[in-house]
């Protein structure tokens, strides 16, 4: 056999690699001890490479290990001196393997929780001190350590410390660990600020792309869209994030396109519409056009009106109480959006369930200019109707 691996605790052989298998390992990775540890961690032991130690074992060491097991394990695991330590030579990750070799494997347990040490670990993650973080995960310390609010991975993602993030993920930190206050994952924290490289690391490690916050059901896509982070939005959708996933709670029914509409993120909204977002075009519970009108987002309103008119869709879709986008534009005093909607064919006299027109909304809110525009449009339409009626009678 090219490589024989034994458990340090019992001396039993648990894995053997023949020459062909060793050659395959070299082709997949390389011929170093670090490559063998990565292979074992990922495909056999399902643990972190930081917890693995490989020792080169001399030919007769197993017989001595049987009689001096306690002392030898004390050196292997606790690094305490013992008379048999010379029989085991720890292999650094860069050490090339030269078959045939007999190796001993040790899987280290995680360091016990310690408030002071855990606090120092979190401080290193927050500061982006990759060297200190690497030292601590090699101890090995639990990568999922957290304070009362958030964990190590959250801090690395929040401040875009990509190297620290990679170290924590290599140490098998949980991608979907949530903060205690808002229930946010590291991916959501990265989405808030548009940290694309951090997101790539998290998604590659299996982060749940549609994981929602606990308080209102917003996902990373909602936050990226609201922040105008187009590259982040594209990355999430490429990783199969749901374009039309709706929020819950007080924001029930809101998709990423709704959020982009309210925040005035025109390029993000355009990309979402081009890539399958459709729910924001529905007036129930509230369309993107309603949100643009309500939030006075003129550029967004232009984009949505152009999209709706181009698809021969109505501009007079109503919410639960009968409000059209023009009602909300009038209520917010958005004169430019009022003119845009009127010029594009929106009904100036559409009534809510209670019988109120957009003019009533503008007047009630004290938006004099919007009310004047609506009144003038109403009079213009009335005059045009009267003129048509006279021509019909004379004909």
Residue 104 pLDDT more than 70? yes
Query: Which one is predicted more confidently, 22 or 10?
Result: 22
Span 112-208 CATH architecture = Alpha Horseshoe (1.25)
How far, in Å, CA of 369 to CA of 377, rounded? 12
CA 40 remoteness from chain centre: 29
Cα 108 to Cα 131: distance, rounded to the nearest angstrom: 20
- 311-332 exposure pattern, b = at least 16 Cβ within 10 A, e = fewer: eeeebebbbeeebbbbbbbbbb
Distance CA(74)–CA(374), nearest Å, equals 86
Between 277 and 78, where is the model more confident? 277
Residues 282, 286: Cα–Cα separation, whole Å: 7
For CATH 3.10.20, the residue range(s) in the chain are 3-107
Query: How many angstroms separate the Cα of 288 from the Cα of each of 99, 155, 169, 258, 283?
Result: 65, 34, 38, 5, 8
Which pLDDT belongs to residue 9? 67
DSSP code of residue 41: I
CB-based burial of residue 337 (10 Å sphere; 0-12 exposed, 13-18 middle, 19+ buried)?
buried
pLDDT-derived band at 102, boundaries 50, 70, 90: confident
Of the listed ranges 280-284, 289-293, 313-317, the one predicted with least confidence: 280-284
Distance of alpha carbon 17 from alpha carbon 3, whole angstroms: 5
Is it the case that residue 25 has pLDDT exceeding 60? yes
Percentage of the chain surpassing pLDDT 90? 60
pLDDT, tens only, 126-150:
999 999 999 999 999 999 999 989 9
Domain with CATH 1.25.40.20 in the chain: 112-208, 305-395
Crossing angle, helix 220-227 and helix 186-193, to 10 degrees? 10
Q: Residue 59 pLDDT > 50, yes or no?
A: no
Assigned superfamily of 305-395 = Ankyrin repeat-containing domain (1.25.40.20)
Strands 52-57 and 88-90: antiparallel
pLDDT tier at 299 (50, 70, 90 boundaries)? very high
Q: What number is the average pLDDT over the span 104-110?
A: 86
List helix spans (H) across the chain: 19-28, 33-39, 61-67, 69-78, 115-127, 130-137, 152-158, 162-170, 186-193, 196-204, 220-227, 230-238, 256-263, 266-274, 288-294, 298-310, 325-332, 335-343, 358-364, 368-394
Residue 14 has a pLDDT of 82
Angle of CA points 303, 218, 229, to nearest 5°: 50
Residue 152 DSSP SS3: helix
pLDDT(75) > 80:
no
**Can you tell me whether residue 245 is helix, strand or coil?**
coil
- Among 75-89, 132-146, 225-239, 283-297, the range scoring the smallest mean pLDDT is 75-89
Would you say residue 315 has pLDDT above 70? yes
Q: CB-based contacts of 187: which residues, under 8 Å, 6+ apart?
A: 157, 175, 199, 202, 203, 207, 208, 209, 211, 220
Q: What is the 3-state secondary structure (H, E, C) of 57-77?
A: ECCCHHHHHHHCHHHHHHHHH
- CATH number assigned to the domain covering 3-107: 3.10.20
169: pLDDT strictly greater than 50: yes
Q: Which helix (H) or strand (E) holds 103?
A: strand 101-107
> CA nearest 102: which of 1, 238, 245?
1
In the predicted model, what is the mean pLDDT of residues 238-246? 94
8 A C-beta contact, residue 48 and residue 172: yes
Instruction: Give the range among 80-94, 123-137, 233-247, 270-284 with minimum mean pLDDT.
Output: 80-94
Question: What does the DSSP 8-state code read for residue 276?
Answer: T
Reported as a pLDDT band with limits 50, 70 and 90, residue 382 is low
The model's confidence at residue 17, banded by pLDDT at 50, 70 and 90, is confident
């Amino acid at each position: 056999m090219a490589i024989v691996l034994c458990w340090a605790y019992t001396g039993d052989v648990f894995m053997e690699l023949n020459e062909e298998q060793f050659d395959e390992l070299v082709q997949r990775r390389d011929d170093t001890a670090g490559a063998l540890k990565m292979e074992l961690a990922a495909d056999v032991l399902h643990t972190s490479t930081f917890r693995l130690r490989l020792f080169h074992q001399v030919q007769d060491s197993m017989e001595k290990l049987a009689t001096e097991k306690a002392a030898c394990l004390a050196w292997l695991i606790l690094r305490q001196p013992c008379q048999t330590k010379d029989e085991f030579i720890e292999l650094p990750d860069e050490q090339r393997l030269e078959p045939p070799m007999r190796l001993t494997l040790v899987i280290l347990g995680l360091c016990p929780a310690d408030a002071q040490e855990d606090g120092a670990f979190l401080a290193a993650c927050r500061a982006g001190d990759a060297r200190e973080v690497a030292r601590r995960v090699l101890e090995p310390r639990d990568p999922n350590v957290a304070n009362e609010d958030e964990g190590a991975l959250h801090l690395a993602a929040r401040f875009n410390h990509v190297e620290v993030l990679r170290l924590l993920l290599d140490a098998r930190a949980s991608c979907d660990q949530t903060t205690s206050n808002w229930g946010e994952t590291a991916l959501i924290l990265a989405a808030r600020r548009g940290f694309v490289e951090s997101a790539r690391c998290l998604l590659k490690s299996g982060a749940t792309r549609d994981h929602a916050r606990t308080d209102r059901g917003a996902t990373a896509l909602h936050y990226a869209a609201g922040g105008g982070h187009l590259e982040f939005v594209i990355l999430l959708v490429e990783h199969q994030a749901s374009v039309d996933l709706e929020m819950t709670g007080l924001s029930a029914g809101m998709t990423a396109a709704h959020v982009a509409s309210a925040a005035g993120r025109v390029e993000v909204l355009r990309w979402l519409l081009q890539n399958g977002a459709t729910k924001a075009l529905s007036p129930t519970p509230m369309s993107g056009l309603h949100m643009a009108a309500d939030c006075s987002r003129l550029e967004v309103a232009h984009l949505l009106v152009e999209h709706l008119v181009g698809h021969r869709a109505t501009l007079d879709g109503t919410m639960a109480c009968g409000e059209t986008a023009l009602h909300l534009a009038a209520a917010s005093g958005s004169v430019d959006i009022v003119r845009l909607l009127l010029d594009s064919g929106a009904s100036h006299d559409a009534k809510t369930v209670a019988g109120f027109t957009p003019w009533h909304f503008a007047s009630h809110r004290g938006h004099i200019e919007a009310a004047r525009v609506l009144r003038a449009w109403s009079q213009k339409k009335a005059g045009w109707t009267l003129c048509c009626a006279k021509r019909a009678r004379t004909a």
